[in-house]
Chains A and B, each alone.
Chain A
Amino acid sequence: MSNTTDKMGSIADPNCVAPNSSTTKDRGLALLKYVLIGTVFGIVFVKAEIISWFRIQEMFRLQSFHMFGVIGSAIVTGIISIQLIKRFNIKSIQGEAIVIPTKEFKIGQVIGGFIFGLGWAITGACPGPLFAQIGSGYTVVLVTLVAALAGTWVYGRFEKYFPN
């Protein structure tokens, strides 16, 4: 969860982990870079078999190191990158100071996290791999995507009834 005040005030509730901290609006071709980063990300997901339902089962059965290696080394790379950005005060290419959203502890991270984990072990996919699975030709995962949208919507609709 983020308690970062969104400068543009566009998200009514800051309960969003990927807030847009940029004050510069990307237009036209500038938006293409997000498609490209996503494309590389999707290729990695398939080539390292992260989209595989079997790899997720191996992980939860502690029968392969692969997924732990992927997640662990991704985190280490992320930690080093963010430390470098902070240490050298690196700015975004738009010249803005880089904002790292603050995550505030809420009980939802425990309850919601557990619920997501249940779903992750059934579908063999967290949200990123869902999109990569569909693109790879496992079109039946569209049903999973629609169900995930329904889950997101139901959470949003009844948000006030869930402790957080």
Chain B
Amino acid sequence: MNQFIGWISQSWPWYVAGPMIGLTVPALLILGNKAFGISSSLRHICAACIPAGIPFFTYDWKKEIWNLLFVLGTAVGGFIAMNFLANPETIVIADATQEDLKALGLTNFSDLMPLEIFNWDIAFTGKGILFFVIGGFLVGFGTRYAGGCTSGHAIMGISSLQWPSLVATIFFMVGGFFMTHVLLAPLMRLVGF
């Protein structure tokens, strides 16, 4: 058992993780006739908590409770993986990426996340406003406007061979490249990195 835990505690290669994520599509279809998609959970939470009479949020969200249970499970999975299956080795980040990020002012590459950014001390400073508030807002707004995220469009949509989802995925990537290569450096300087 300990050997098994040791074995799965290493970081998993893409050819294990990708197919497992892909299998979520038939799992949800066969076990419940549900189409894979995660950003919908954000809409259901709005519908449940602050519908405010807005037509977009006025529907029977309770019927979509499966989607909220799925994301609850995702958080539980994160907890299990981090507390019981944690990788004893330090994350290996590409040298070129480390160099690029050092130029942006990051110095700590020992964790899954840059700890200079992902900590409560900066949450309500300019840095936190950029990385959490603005970043999060763009994710929530953009996914809803696009009608889906990486799971609903890139995985579910392209898997069912629908070209609008391919278009959406291409623009996810275009947005990401534009932020990374054009906007990120000046924005990080602006907030004090």
Residue of A58, A135, A157 touching B93 (CB-CB under 8 A): A58
Q: A37-B70, A141-B132, A155-B141 are in contact. Are A46 and B57 (CB under 8 A)?
A: no
Of chain B, the residue at the smallest CB distance from A110 is: B171
Complex Cα gap A135–B175 (Å): 27
Interface size counted on chain A using CB atoms at 8 A: 134
B75 touches A42 (CB 8 A): yes
Cβ < 8 Å to A, chain B residues 146-193 = 146-165, 167-181, 183-184, 187
B32 touches A33 (CB 8 A): yes
Interface size counted on chain B using CB atoms at 8 A: 138
Q: A73-B14, A116-B149 are in contact. Are A21 and B34 (CB under 8 A)?
A: yes
Distance to closest chain A CB from B113 (angstroms): 5
Residue of B14, B63, B78 touching A45 (CB-CB under 8 A): B78
- Using an 8 Å CB-CB cutoff, how does the interface string of A123-146 with B read, 1 for contact, 0 for none? 111111011111111111101111
List B residues at the A interface (Cβ < 8 Å).
Answer: 8, 11-43, 45-46, 50, 52, 54-60, 63-67, 69-83, 85, 87, 91, 93-94, 96-97, 100-101, 109, 112-114, 117-120, 123, 128, 130-165, 167-181, 183-184, 187
